[in-house]
Amino acid sequence: MTDGPLTLAIDVGGSGLKATVLNHDGEMLSERERRETPYPCTPPVLLDELATLAASQPDYDRVSVGYPGAIRRGVVRDVTAFVRPAPGKPKDPKLIEQWIGYDLQSALAQRFGKPVRVANDADVQGCAVVAGKGMELVITLGTGVGCAVFFDGVLLPHMELSHGRFGDGMSIEVACGEFERHKVGKHDWRARVLNALDTFEEMVLPDHTFIGGGNAKKLDPDTIGANRTIVPNASGLLGGIKLWERSEPPVSATS
């Protein structure tokens, strides 16, 4: 018996797609399933992949999805990874046309036949890790760089701060992303990330910064600086419960 709805939590990443079912307390009721993110990743391709992931999981009542881009009321406002035919490749105008303005939340609700809530992946991860005290900044390091800002536990409107220019003219998202990590090596990449964290904090003035995502584990916890905490990558799934405490109503299959 459960005391609340079961949530299918999905974490959409530029390199991997992950899913598990959570109970009302955020405990995993199934093994985390992972699939490689296919490229080119058009909206129909992503929907098919997520439907395959969902089919591997036990029954659920609702769906939470973390997406690696700016989402406003379920609609894709901007995305970096999926407008490229492959990681590190130039943006493709045809992919931009398919993704920007796409109502992902409604499409998933129709596909799954369940209530769905979609948010930026850093927003979802932050929902799982913030303490709810003062200004808190969440940074995710993966294929690109995500960010989320909370004040006294309230998730603020999403801002793509990582699109700001950095270093030799690249955005923070590109300079500290996976492609550049392989290109410049571990030492230089770590230095870039620490520089970027300083830049983020100069803009946001947070009381605490949380660092997550698949590449967070490649940082040295002893050298990341004060008031910064590295959090488990699984937080990207576990935040799927807290996401439902936001005031904006979800989209259902009958909306």
* 157 band by pLDDT with thresholds 50, 70 and 90: confident
Task: Indicate whether this model's pTM tops 0.85.
Answer: yes
In eight-state DSSP terms, residue 251 is: B
* 244 band by pLDDT with thresholds 50, 70 and 90: confident
* 169 band by pLDDT with thresholds 50, 70 and 90: confident
* 25 band by pLDDT with thresholds 50, 70 and 90: confident
Number of Cβ atoms within 10 Å of the Cβ of 248: 11
The reply to whether domains 7-122+237-245 and 131-236 share a CATH topology is: yes
Cα 146 from Cα 12, distance rounded (Å)? 12
**CATH fold of the domain at 7-122+237-245:** Nucleotidyltransferase; domain 5 (3.30.420)
Single-letter code of the amino acid located at 12: V
**pLDDT tens by residue, 209-221:** 999 998 999 999 9
Q: What residues does each domain of the chain span?
A: 7-122+237-245, 131-236
3-state secondary structure (DSSP) of residue 224: coil
Radius of gyration of the chain (CA): 17
Q: Do residues 118 and 50 make contact, with C-beta atoms less than 8 angstroms apart? A: no
210 sits in which H/E element: strand 208-212
Mean pLDDT (whole number) for 10-38:
93
Pick the CATH number of 131-236 from 3.30.70.1380, 3.30.420.40, 3.30.450.20, 3.30.70.1230: 3.30.420.40
**pLDDT tens by residue, 49-108:** 999 999 999 999 999 999 999 999 999 999 989 999 998 899 999 999 999 999 999 999
How wide is the angle at C-alpha 221 spanned by C-alphas 159 and 153, nearest 5°? 40
Higher-scoring residue by pLDDT: 133, 233: 133
